[in-house]
Each structure stands twice: as structure tokens, then as C-alpha cells.
Amino acid sequence: MLRITPLLIASVLAAAATPASAATIFSQDFSSGLGAKESVVSNVAGSWGVHNGFLGHSAEYSPNERSLYIADLGLNAYENIDFTFDLTEYTERSYDYVTWFTGHYDAAGALVFNTFGQITQGYGTGSGSYKFNLAALERDQLFGFRFTSDHAIQYAGVQIDNLQINGIRSGPPIDLPSTPAVPEPATWAMMIVGFALVGGVVRRRSGSADCVTA
């Protein structure tokens, strides 16, 4: 017979309340090109794309370039999202820059995005590893980078590499049923507490009924 004690209830509730740890949502080093969930697009015929294990330019970038990298990752199923990447730039200071964004496609198929930040270096080669967190920002379906320029004077552009996105699952993937086939550990814990409490109530009622009958 299962005995319900305050210690048992506290232990189960504590287990249910334990925060989930972040897991890797997506990782890409561009060594094998783009995956099925990724795409690149540009408003100019230029060098933007995946080249020799990196995303970016293989040659000088173009005047008034607007180039995108988009990954459809279903980020609206996650929270506390952060991402890291390596970046090398050779651009004009304050005029040409890289931004990252999340977004989605509207009913007409047009890209709607929210720009979260930008990096400008320029006037020489600048490189480094960057890490950013999207926890306080609106979650959306897509993740991407945008390169923007006003004009180019023999500048080589940007190279992005070793992209990794981490987060905590907050809901089912958008392409799966809303109810998971296998309950999460927290769900099991709450079910156990519920069954135990119901069993206790049933036993108390049964005992009371026996006393009245006697």
C-alpha cells in the first residue's frame, strides 16, 4: 500500500519543478554546405553563399547588397535561446554590417523578421567569437543573418562559421501533434502525485463506509 507522506509529496513536486537543461537545437559548421532547413538569398548576383566551409562572401561584395541566410528551426517551440558563431569581417566601418534576426513567413509567403542586433567592424580584418541570448525577445519560427552594404570599394565582406543554437523546449515542434506520445518526466511526476492523492481519498472514504456499516 502506498503511503502518502509530506516528504514523498515534496520530493515529487521538487522533481517536477526542476528546470529543464538547455539542449542543442541546431549546429552548422558549413563544411557540407546547406541543409534542408537552410537557404540563402541575395538581391544582387554576387559571391554571397556557402564557400569552403563558411557562410559569407567568396569575393568582393556588391554595392547596396542585401543578402540573407535563413534557417527554419521552429524556434517558437523553445525558450531561453542563445546562439554562438565565429565572424570575420572586412567591410567599411558604420556603413556595412551584419545583423541577426528571427522571423516567419506571412500568409502571402513574404518574410517578416525582427532584427535583434548588429555588428560592424571594418577598415581592416576583424574576427571573433560571439554569443547572444534571445530569452527576453520574441520567439519566432526562423533564425537568420542579414548582410547589408551601401557600396563596396575592394572589400572582401564577411565570413560566418561554427553556428550553434541552444534552447529549452517549451512546447511541441510545430510540425508534430500537440500532445507528446510519451509524457515528459515532469508530467509523470504530477500524474504519480495525482494517483496517490486520489487513492488516499478513496481509501479514507472506504474506511468511513466500513465503520458506518459495522
User: What is the predicted pLDDT for the residue at 137?
Assistant: 65
**Which of 24-38, 49-63, 169-183 is the least confident region?**
169-183
Q: pLDDT tens across 80-118, in order?
A: 899 999 998 888 877 788 888 888 888 888 888 887 777
Has residue 69 got a pLDDT over 80? yes
CB burial class (10 A; 0-12, 13-18, 19+) of residue 85?
buried
> Binning pLDDT at 50, 70 and 90, where does residue 199 land?
very low
| Segment (H or E) for 56 | strand 54-57
Q: How far apart are CA 177 and CA 190, in angstroms?
A: 21
Q: How far apart are CA 101 and CA 138, in angstroms?
A: 10
Greatest CA separation for the chain: 99
Range list of H helices, the chain: 6-17, 185-213
Q: How far apart are CA 3 and CA 1, in angstroms?
A: 6
Mean pLDDT score, 204-213: 44
Instruction: Spell out where 73-211 has E strands.
Output: 78-90, 97-105, 111-119, 126-133, 142-148, 157-169
Q: How far apart are CA 73 and CA 196, in angstroms?
A: 40
Q: pLDDT tens across 7-46, in order?
A: 544 454 444 445 568 899 999 999 999 999 999 999 988 7
* Cα angle 69-72-74, degrees, rounded to a multiple of 5: 145
User: What is the predicted pLDDT for the residue at 85?
Assistant: 94
126 vs 189 pLDDT, higher one: 126
Has residue 165 got a pLDDT over 60? yes
User: What is the predicted pLDDT for the residue at 72?
Assistant: 93
Q: Angle between the 6-17 and 185-213 helix axes, to the nearest 10 degrees?
A: 160
Structure pTM?
Answer: 0.68
Q: Please, what is the average pLDDT of the chain?
A: 74
User: What is the predicted pLDDT for the residue at 36?
Assistant: 92
16 vs 53 pLDDT, higher one: 53
CB burial class (10 A; 0-12, 13-18, 19+) of residue 157?
buried
φ, ψ of residue 126 in degrees (nearest 5): -120, 140
Q: pLDDT tens across 124-143, in order?
A: 467 889 898 876 666 788 99
